[in-house]
Structure 1
Amino acid sequence: MLKDQGKEWEDIAVSGQEWPAVKQSCLFGQLPKLEDGNLILYQTNAIRRHLARKLGVYGQNERDAALIDMMDDSLVDLLGKYMKLIYQEYDTGKEKYLQELPENLRRYEKILSGNKGGFLVGSQISFADYLLLSLLLYHQVLCPSCLDSFPTLRSYLDRMCARPNLQTYLQSDAYKSKPINANGKQ
């Protein structure tokens, strides 16, 4: 979202050795942490919504914002299923996960097919679109053929990845060198 919107930021990685000391300083004992001037935020989704408001990618009105929240919450649910697979059930649950994946993707195929604006809500990109993009990229690594039956999702992914700032970022060494998941499973 930040790269696509032309914003720069400093991403500070914390090593395993540094983590115990850093954890003590974190409000909830976890990362990520965003420092935006004198505002310090923890919690991924609070950070994402703050940045979305600041960057103007939270809809054009309250109705859009409510629909974007709904889309984002559904995507956070899918992300939770993905994370559970990757970190808890990879060896025992991958086959079942992949069997259920088409039903999960079908929902977004239908949503995007029904919205002539080209995004999840309306005709402007929202912070929920960035989460859908990430999930589609993750799932393409997990199962390269996962979008074969979803032409609208495939087109959406291609359009998103072709956005100039995103294209540059996705082709950068900084992006390519970052592991998808901390445990190396994909």
Structure 2
Amino acid sequence: MPTQPTYELIYFTARGGGEISRLLFAQAGVEFKDTRLTQDEFKAVKGDVTRAPLGQLPVLIVKGTATPFPPIPQSHAIERYLARKFDMYGKNIEEATRIDVACECVVEIFTHIVKMFFEKDDAKKKELGKSFVEKDSKTVLTAMCNALKKNSGGKGFFVGDKMTLADIAVFHMTEAIFGSMPPLAAMYPALKDFSDRMRAEPKIAAWIKKRPVTQF
């Protein structure tokens, strides 16, 4: 009997670029080693290509496969690998492409969020937040609401009739934007309702309950 692969996800003590993968594991019901490093601990392994082949995190280490499997760097490559592995990447190429579009929208939103998060000047941070709510996020978040409504009348998932990587990625995004910028929840009720439904999904809810509390 072939052995089941084992997984170790290495990231920092944060949600950030590791949380979508963690949520995929949770929803799939697949155990994994959730290795969270401090910045000092990361410096100690940064030059080890067997743990961090690109000198950055996250990294997914897969063991127990039929052939040797190198460590997987790059957060989005990890997410798509897991989504394919757990049958959460659509039923065909058309659905997979729609999932990719949703995920790229999430990337675009996080580009703004990261810029705000690392801004040191309080006045500039406030200005970036105001611009994000009033202008920078408007086209993408409106399009995401429309995509959700088109697929399921706003009451189901983003693509197809079951949860996919798109739903996990968008939920991760809504946790960040609704938590840090509450006015957005009222501006995009379809996304807020979707986020609430995802949070109530049993496996997602169980993960949220047990995960370490972090700002981002």
Matched, 1:111 2:147: yes
Aligned partner of 1:168 among 197, 206, 210: 206
Q: 1:94 aligns with which of 122, 129, 133?
A: 129
Distance 1:137 1:165, change over 3 A: same
Deviation at 1:89, TM superposition (A): 6.7
Distance in 1 of aligned mates of 2:177 and 2:97? 26
Choose between structure 1 and 2: higher strand proportion.
Answer: 2
Give the match for residue 92 of structure 2. 61
User: Match for residue 47 of structure 1?
Assistant: 78
Matching residue's letter, 2:86:
L
C-alpha distance in 2, partners of 1:161/1:102? 23
| Matched position secondary structure for 1:29 | coil
**Shift in CA distance, 115/32, structure 1 to aligned 2, threshold 3 Å:** same
Preserved contact between residue 152 and residue 158 of structure 2 (Cα < 8 Å): no
Q: Which deviates more, 42-51 or 161-170?
A: 161-170
Matched AA of 2:58:
P
**How many residues are treated as equivalent by the alignment?**
178
- 1:145-160 → structure 2 map (5 Å cutoff): 145-160=183-198
Counterpart Cα distance in 2 of 1:122 and 1:90: 43
Letter in 2 for 1:82: I
Partner residue of 2:169 out of 122, 131, 135: 131
**Which amino acid in structure 1 is aligned with residue 214 of structure 2?**
K
TM-score normalised per structure 1: 0.87
**Aligned equivalent of 1:29:** 55
Whether 2:14 is the aligned partner of 1:14: answer no
Identity of aligned residues (%): 26
Query: Does structure 1 conserve the Cα–Cα contact (< 8 Å) formed by 2:106 and 2:170?
Result: yes
Change (3 A) 1:167 1:97: same
Give secondary structure in 2 for the equivalent of 1:12: strand
TM-score by length of 2: 0.76
Structure 1 CA distance, aligned partners of 2:177 and 2:77? 24
Cα distance change on mapping 1:116 and 1:17 into 2, 3 Å: closer
Shift of 1:56: 0.3
Q: 1:31-61 CA deviation, whole Å, 9 max, x = no partner?
A: 1110111421000000000000000000011
